[in-house]
Amino acid sequence: MSAIIPGPQRLPDPLTLHPVILPDGTPHHGTVLLRAAIDHPNISVGDHAYASALEPPADWAAALAPYLYPGAPETLTIGPLSQIAHGVRFITASANHPMGGISTYPFRIFDMATAAPYVDEAARYGNTVVGPDVWLGFEARVMPGVTIGAGAIVAACAVVTRDVPPYAVVAGNPARVRRMRFSAAQVDRLLQIAWWDWPVAAILAALPALESGDIDALERAAP
């Protein structure tokens, strides 16, 4: 059995913009903690959720959720410790064209004072929610009103059109559950433990249990 390598003693402050420091001492500008990078009234972000991009955008909110405007009827919630790879996009409800009639042409956007029917239709799709400790792979797409459960993994280029159970691995277009990371009983235990809500020091102390998948040890480590 390989020796356990001690982990970090702390995590960066959640409001650190560039949390990854390269060996030469320079920050990696392509990775940001999203609480520091996003200031948008319709987006809420948990501590230590991060995103990466090969070419860092000037506006991370616009890059991740390009159709979500301030005051839109829907919101985007990104849970703590979530990991968002390059090219991920959240296609929120306001991206949709009107589909209740004969034409999908958005006539009313040219006079926003008349756009209330569009806003009402968008609101029916609901909010987009990414749970804690979710990994969204390269260029994944998340469609309107989807909830992704804690600990889920979304494969590269997947198109998520429906809710994802906690600790599921989904892939494809449309994304389907390919496997579960843990048994149903184990998932229930992990959701009860909710380690992502612990103080950071307790999380880091439990790193050997988290990395090895030892749920019993993780339960014993609970503060």
Q: Render pLDDT for 11-52 as a digit per residue (tens, 0 to 9).
A: 999 999 999 999 999 999 999 999 999 999 999 999 999 999
Total number of domains constituting the chain: 2
pLDDT, averaged across the chain: 95
> Rounded to the nearest 10 degrees, how much is the dihedral formed by the CA atoms of 73, 175, 159, 89?
60
> H/E element holding 89?
strand 89-90
In a domain, 125, yes or no: yes
In a domain, 111, yes or no: yes
In the residue annotation, 97 being an active-site residue is answered as yes
| CATH code of the domain covering residue 48 | 2.160.10.10
Catalytic residue of the set 18, 29, 86, 97: 97
In terms of domains, do 135 and 177 share one? Answer: yes
In a domain, 47, yes or no: yes
In terms of domains, do 190 and 147 share one? Answer: no
Residues of the chain above pLDDT 90, percent: 95
126/118 Cα distance (integer angstroms): 14
In terms of domains, do 149 and 186 share one? Answer: no
For residue 126, give its domain range: 31-181
In terms of domains, do 101 and 142 share one? Answer: yes
Is 18 in a helix, a strand, or coil?
A: coil
